Amino acid sequence: MSTVSVYEALFWHGESPLGTSDEVDFEALANGLALTDHRVEPRGRFDPRQRLAPGDPNAPRQRLAPGNRLAGRKHYTRAQHAVVVSEAVDTIAGLETGARRVLATHVCLAAARDERLEPGNETSGRTGVKWQIMDLEAFADGMAHTNRWEGSEGPVPGAAAVDGLLVRLGGLSGDDRRTLALHALLSETVPAGLGTAVTEAVLARAGLDPRVPSFWVWILRLIRRMADAAVRRDLPGAGPVGESSFPALDRPIGPMDPATAARLWLARYEALKAPDREGERT
């Protein structure tokens, strides 16, 4: 009796990126990600207060061929989202001190708002309304530039700790930042339907260790949530109704046809892959 990878068969679109000899086809990976629409989680996995302790294989698959009914329609896919998150690693790492501290303050204010407005929270009605109508971005900008940072928590509890982690991101070596951005590019593989075993094979083929410093995971969760906030801002219907109070990436988000998204994903992979992977099949 033939067997298949259950999660890949249930959820993955396109040809399997993992061959019988464990060779990874990165073009098939890009195409599969480009055939899967991105869906925003209400809050993702990011929490600034968390500090992270240590079917039938012969069935026809969807392809990005000209006759494919999905090929010419514009979507916001996991391939495109992975590129957005990956490129944001460099953007956030390069923030100047002022912008970085505004982001840290905004992140903590958004977490406080979420907590205050949580169903069952005993916040008074007047305080709850204040949190609902507050312009967090403007408030964060004012507080970040008028409060002490050195030797304190910053303008709001936790802001200095968040800023410290962002400083660590900016201080990564070029190779470490490239590696983190490559992890970000491959972070959509499991949500798109590939099981962890296939994903770890992809990581290995890309020259990546599946185990990373815990603060890298914190950064990836932060950036993925910022990307989701940008999707909610620019693509109504892609997630929960209404804009998120969480800080969004500045770059505008828009749908594109899957073939273009797949090409962008492959180009980003080529730019990030380890130098000694030149002979790899892509």
In a domain, 57, yes or no: no
SS3 sequence of the chain: CCCCCHHHHHHCCCCCCECCCCCECHHHHHHHHHCCECCCCCCCCCCCCCCCCCCCCCCCCCCCCCCCCCCCCCECEHHHHHHHHHHHHHHHHCCCHHHHHHHHHHHHHHHHHHHHCCCCCCCCHHHHHHHHHCCHHHHHHHHHHHCCCCCCCCCCCCHHHHHHHHHHHHCCCHHHHHHHHHHHHCCCCCCCCCCHHHHHHHHHHCCCCCCCCHHHHHHHHHHHHHHHHHHHHHCCCCCCCCCCCCCCCCCCCCCECHHHHHHHHHHHHHHHCCHHHCCCCC
In a domain, 64, yes or no: no
In a domain, 128, yes or no: no
In a domain, 62, yes or no: no
Span 154-188, pLDDT tens digits: 888 889 999 999 999 999 999 999 999 999 999 99
| Bridge partners for 215 per DSSP | none
**Model-level pTM?**
0.79
In a domain, 23, yes or no: yes
In a domain, 89, yes or no: yes
pLDDT in tens, the chain (282 residues): 556 666 677 677 888 888 777 788 999 999 989 988 887 765 555 677 665 544 444 444 444 444 444 445 678 899 999 999 999 999 999 999 999 999 999 999 988 887 776 655 566 555 555 666 677 888 888 888 887 787 777 888 889 999 999 999 999 999 999 999 999 999 998 888 887 788 889 999 999 998 899 889 999 999 999 999 999 889 877 666 555 689 999 999 999 999 999 999 999 999 999 776 444 444
Of 157, 166, 169, the C-alpha closest to 49 is: 157
Q: What is the pLDDT of residue 69?
A: 44
Cβ–Cβ < 8 Å for 109, 139: yes
In a domain, 192, yes or no: yes
Q: What is the pLDDT of residue 131?
A: 62
Number of domains in the chain: 1
In a domain, 248, yes or no: yes
CA 127 to chain centre: 32
Q: What is the pLDDT of residue 117?
A: 61
Query: Which residue is associated with the tokens 């008028």?
Result: 146
Q: What is the pLDDT of residue 97?
A: 95
* Mean pLDDT, the chain, integer: 80
- For residue 193, the domain's CATH number is 1.10.3210
Q: What is the pLDDT of residue 182?
A: 96
Span 255-266, pLDDT tens digits: 999 999 999 999
Per-residue CA distances from 215 to 53, 177, 256 (Å)? 9, 13, 32
Domain that holds residue 189: 6-42+72-94+163-277
* Residue 37, phi then psi, degrees to nearest 5: -70, 145
| Bridge partners for 24 per DSSP | 18
